[in-house]
Structure 1
Amino acid sequence: MAASKQTQVIHGGTQILPSSFYIRQVLFLLAAAVLFLGLSWHDRLDFWITGQWYQVETHSFPMKDNAWLELINHKLLKFSIIASAVVALFWGIYRKNPRLIVAMILLGIGTAVVGILKASSIHSCPWSLSEFGGQAAYLHLFESVSSGVNPGPGKCFPGGHSSCGFAVMALFFLFYPERPKLAWCCWWLGIFLGMVMGYGQVMRGAHFLSHNLWAGWWVWLSQLVCYWLVERITLWRK
């Protein structure tokens, strides 16, 4: 499919997407942010879902050390995505394919942004909270640590593991707009992988659902912003 009239393709196939595309994405992200803020603040859904995997009698998450969740969800899926991205990046460099290179860089940027946010977070994982057998206090999204309150180890928001799956959304920029259906399939594949990988962590007591939803939000936002910056640099060099 040829590129749309509103889309410029310059400098080795770099796509310059129309402003209407970014407007739609900004509106989508704003709507998602409102929804996720509500879910994070009114946290009954988070606690209810996590509670399904918590055993009150033993004060523990029975699936925490589940071999299949640890091997397939926590290791195999993550390492497969990382290895595939690295191979694709070097293949793009070898073939001098800027679109493939940019897509793989965006994939890495998405996870890096979530990793930075997670490393500076004061929010602890469910398995560390007093409500689930731990000792840490639960904190709302924008709540600060009060005197005498033990926030625990923190570093649990947003969901780092799920961000690796969500990062696959970067493939969207590899195929859009020449193959828009494939591009959106890749976007949905990223959503699916992120939610599957994230829910595996919910089952283990490692994250709340909202942690993973916010991970996806930050990944897509960072990828959009970075691709837009690539476009600006490309136009400036032109």
Structure 2
Amino acid sequence: MSAPHFYLHNLGVPLLLAVVLFCAFDLTQLDVLISNQFYDPLTHTFVLEHDRLFEKLTHKLPRILPDTTGELAVIGMLLSFAWTLLPKGRFSAWLERVRVAPALRWLTAHRRDFIFLVVSFAITTGMVHYFKSHTSVWCPVETTLYGGIHEKREWFENFSLLHEAGEGRCWPGGHASSGFTLLALYFVARRYRWRHARALFIAVMTLGMIYGSTRVPQGWHFVSHTFWSGIIVWLSMLGTALAFYGRERLSQPALDAPRHAPETAAPGLSEGLSVSGR
């Protein structure tokens, strides 16, 4: 894939979607019209606002997947330094006998990938929190439209580049972003030209949309908050992946057959971070 083609798909398309999203939602009352369908004006509540089972199934339990992925990435990153730091001799021979050494070598060979996962999770999470604090958008249930005390305002009306804009923390969708952060796995798959990378991309995007959309009938987000979360996470993740892997490696076509790492994957790791820890 040529550079213009790559950036057209990975940068141009999300930016175009951002313009469409801005015009379709932020400049209209479409968000409100959709949320109104889930709001009962007689009881002044959203249909699933106080449903504890729905809250547990759609908000608390789903956090296990991104949280576990992040924790495993941190553990893998730390252990990726173990083989090069361990003294060679009887101890390493014992690790060979108990078959721990091959796992440590595999982690070492994939050190860059684990570091990428940790860094990309941190950067994208940081970007989401930055926009939350620098736009100060209140959630639907907190606005005067649905019984709250705060005025509904769009993110661009409050945006402050260098200072916190206020106490509102609803834009973009944080729960949706936790699902979208798994896009880091997609970029690792692209690096190794995994043939199922596109399916992984679709699965992660669907997961993020589900995470975010389930908050709408609870009154904790407008629909557009989820879309904006996906765009912000994608652009943040793309920039991080380009810094770690480079455009040429990410734009290579998928292989017809899966690769068997670490032996076949190790040569690509010599770029930048080497297995010696440099």
Instruction: Specify if TM > 0.5.
Output: yes
Equivalent residue letter for 1:157: W
CA change 1:108–1:182 in 2 (3 A) is farther
What whole-Å deviation, never above 9, does each CA across 1:96-154 have from its counterpart, x for those lacking one? 21224313432342222112211232211100111111121111332249xxxxx9952
**How does the TM-score come out when normalised to structure 2?**
0.70
- 8 Å contact from structure 1 (residues 137, 152) kept in 2: no
Partner of 1:127: 141
CA–CA distance in structure 1, aligned partners of residues 195 and 23 of structure 2 = 32
CA shift in 2, pair 1:126/1:76, >3 Å:
same
CA distance in 1, matches of 2:75, 2:58: 26
1:185 aligns with 2:199: yes
Task: Work out whether residues 70 and 117 of structure 2, in 8 Å CA contact, stay in contact via their aligned partners in 1.
Answer: no
Partner residue, 2:51: 66
Match of 1:30, as an amino acid? L
**SS in structure 2 at match of 1:155:** coil
Inter-partner Cα distance in structure 2 for 1:63 and 1:37: 27
Q: 1:152 to 1:49 in 2, by over 3 A?
A: farther
Q: Does 1:167 align with 2:181?
A: yes
- The answer to whether the Cα contact below 8 Å between 1:121 and 1:154 also exists between their aligned partners in 2 is yes
Match of 2:98 in 1: none
Q: Indicate how the Cα distance of structure 1 residues 19 and 86 shifts in structure 2: closer, same or farther if over 3 A, else same.
A: farther
Q: Distance in 1 between matches of 2:189 and 2:158?
A: 43
Deviation sequence 1:78-102 (CA, Å, 0-9, x none): 1332122211332254212122431
Share of identical aligned residues, percent?
28
* Equivalent residue in structure 2 for 1:39, among 18, 21, 24: 24
Structure 1 position 85 matched with structure 2 position 85: no
Letter of the structure 2 residue corresponding to residue 115 of structure 1 = H
SS in 2 for 1:136: coil
Q: CA deviation at 1:26?
A: 1.4
Supply the distance in 2 between the matched residues of 1:209 and 1:219 (Cα, whole angstroms). Answer: 16
SS of match in other structure, 2:188:
helix
Which moved further from structure 2: 86-95 or 161-170? 86-95
The residue type paired with residue 9 of structure 2 is R
2:197 corresponds to 1:198: no
In 2, are the aligned partners of 1:110 and 1:222 still within 8 Å (CA)?
yes
How many Å separate the matches in 2 of 1:220 and 1:170?
A: 9
Q: Which of 111, 115, 122 is the equivalent residue of 2:129?
A: 115
- SS in structure 1 at match of 2:207: helix
1:28 equivalenced with 2:42 (yes/no): no
CA distance in 1, matches of 2:220, 2:48: 10
Tell me, what secondary structure is at the counterpart of 1:137? coil
2:225 to 204, 211, 223: 211
- CA distance in 1 between counterparts of 2:10 and 2:22 reads 18
After the TM superposition, which of the residue ranges 155-164 and 179-188 deviates more from structure 2?
A: 179-188
Change (3 A) 1:144 1:67: closer
Does the CA-based 8 Å contact 1:123-1:138 persist in structure 2?
yes
Normalised to the residue count of structure 1, the TM-score between the two structures is 0.80
Q: Which moved more, 1:190-199 or 1:67-76?
A: 67-76
Aligned equivalent of 1:225: 239
Structure 2 counterpart of 1:229, one-letter code? A
In structure 2, C-alpha distance between the alignment counterparts of 1:203 and 1:112, rounded to whole Å: 27
For structure 1, which runs of at least 5 residues remain unmatched after alignment?
A: 1-5, 7-16, 146-150
